[in-house]
C-alpha cells in the first residue's frame, strides 16, 4: 500500500516507451537511462517485456538488463510477462514483481494476443496463480478498459467482471489501462469508483495513454477517486502497436509536477527527471511531447 499523502509513479520508458521505436537502443544506452531514472528517484521501473526478440526486437536484452541491475537499491524493478515461459525468465532474473495484462476487448485481444478475450483471461488466471505460488507480487492489467478503437465503448460490467476474476486469482494490484486513449474524466471517475467499491481490498492503478490530450485530467480524477499508483513515461514516450495513432503515456515529468503542485509527494526529482528526457531526445533525434522538461530547462533547473 502507498503511504498516506503520497503517490507511486511507475516509469515505463524501457518497455512501453521503447517498444514502438524503430531505432534499437543498445544495452549501454538502456543502462544509462535506468541510472538516470534512479537518480531522479523514480520508485518503480518497468524494465522490459519477456517476449521473443523476433516479435519485439527492442526487448531482446531484457533478461540481461535485469540481471545486471536487479540488486540496485532504492528502486523496484518489474517486468511484463505474457506466458509461462516469460514467468520462468522473470524468476531466473530474480524479479520479485511482475506485470501481466489482458484485454477487455475481444477484437483487440485477437490482434494483440492472437486469442479471444475469454481465452486470454483464462490463461492469465493460471499465470497469476503460478506467479503467486512463486511468491511474486503481481500487477494484473485490463487493456482497453475505457474503450476500444475496434469495438467502441467497453461496458463497465465487462471491465468489472474481468477485474473480479483477476482479483480472485490472486492479483495484488489491478491496473486499468486506457490503451486507445479514449477515456475522459467523467468515465474514469465512474469506472474507478465502481471498481474500488466492488474490490476494496485490491490496490488499483491506472495506465493512461495521452492520445487525445486528456491523460493528466484523467490521472487527476483517478487520484480524486482514491488511486495512488500511476504509470508514466519520461517525455511521454510509448503507444500501442495495435491502435493507430496511439500516443504515449502521461509524461513522468508532467505528472510529477502536477502532484507536487497539489502538495502530493511523489519523491521524484523533476530537475533530474528532465535529464532523462534530454537523453531520450538526443538518442531519438526529436523533441518529446512532455511539457515540464522544457519548462525546467527554460528556468535553468533541468539538464
Q: Known catalytic residues?
A: 240
C-alpha dist (Å) from residue 266 to 6, 30, 205, 258, 270: 6, 23, 15, 10, 10
The beta strand positions in the chain, using DSSP E, are 8-11, 44-49, 76-80, 97-103, 137-143, 173-178, 203-208, 229-232
247 vs 21: CA distance, rounded Å? 12
Within a 13 Å sphere around the CA of 33, how many CA atoms are in the beta-carbon half? Answer: 29
14 vs 28: CA distance, rounded Å? 12
Within a 13 Å sphere around the CA of 226, how many CA atoms are in the beta-carbon half? Answer: 15
Cell numbers describing residue 141: 492489467
**Residues whose CB is less than 8 angstroms from the CB of residue 94 and which lie 6 or more positions away in sequence, other chains included:** 66, 67, 70
Amino acid at each position: 500500500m502507498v503511504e498516506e499523502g503520497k503517490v507511486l509513479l511507475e516509469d515505463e520508458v524501457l518497455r512501453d516507451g521503447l517498444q514502438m521505436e524503430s531505432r534499437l537502443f543498445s544495452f549501454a544506452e538502456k543502462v544509462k537511462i535506468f541510472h538516470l531514472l534512479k537518480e531522479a528517484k523514480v520508485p518503480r521501473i518497468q524494465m522490459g517485456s519477456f517476449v521473443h526478440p523476433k516479435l519485439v526486437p527492442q526487448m531482446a536484452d531484457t533478461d540481461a538488463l535485469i540481471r545486471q541491475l536487479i540488486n540496485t537499491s532504492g528502486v523496484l524493478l518489474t517486468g511484463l510477462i505474457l506466458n509461462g515461459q516469460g514467468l520462468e525468465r522473470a524468476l531466473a532474473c530474480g524479479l520479485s514483481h511482475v506485470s501481466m495484462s489482458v484485454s477487455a476487448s475481444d477484437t483487440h485481444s485477437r490482434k494483440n494476443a492472437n486469442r479471444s478475450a475469454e481465452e486470454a483471461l483464462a490463461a492469465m488466471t493460471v499465470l497469476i496463480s503460478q506467479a503467486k505460488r512463486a511468491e511474486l507480487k503481481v500487477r494484473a492489467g485490463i487493456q482497453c478498459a475505457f474503450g476500444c478503437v475496434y469495438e467502441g465503448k467497453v461496458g463497465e460490467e465487462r471491465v468489472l467482471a474481468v477485474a473480479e476474476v483477476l482479483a480472485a486469482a490472486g492479483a495484488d494490484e489491478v491496473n486499468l489501462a486506457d490503451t486507445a486513449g479514449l477515456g475522459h474524466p467523467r468515465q474514469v471517475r465512474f469506472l474507478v469508483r465502481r471498481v474500488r467499491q466492488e474490490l476494496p481490498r485490491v490496490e488499483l492503478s491506472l495506465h493512461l495513454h495521452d492520445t487525445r490530450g486528456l491523460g493528466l485530467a484523467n490521472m487527476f480524477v483517478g487520484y480524486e477517486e482514491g488511486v495512488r499508483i500511476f504509470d508514466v513515461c519520461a517525455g511521454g514516450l510509448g503507444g500501442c502497436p495495435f491502435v493507430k495513432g496511439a500516443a504515449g503515456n502521461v509524461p513522468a515529468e508532467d505528472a510529477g509536477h502536477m502532484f507536487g503542485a497539489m502538495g502530493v509527494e511523489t519523491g521524484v526529482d523533476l530537475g533530474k527527471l528532465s535529464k532523462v528526457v534530454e537523453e531520450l531526445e538526443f538518442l531519438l533525434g526529436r523533441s518529446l511531447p512532455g511539457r515540464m522538461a522544457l519548462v525546467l530547462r527554460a528556468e535553468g533547473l533541468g539538464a
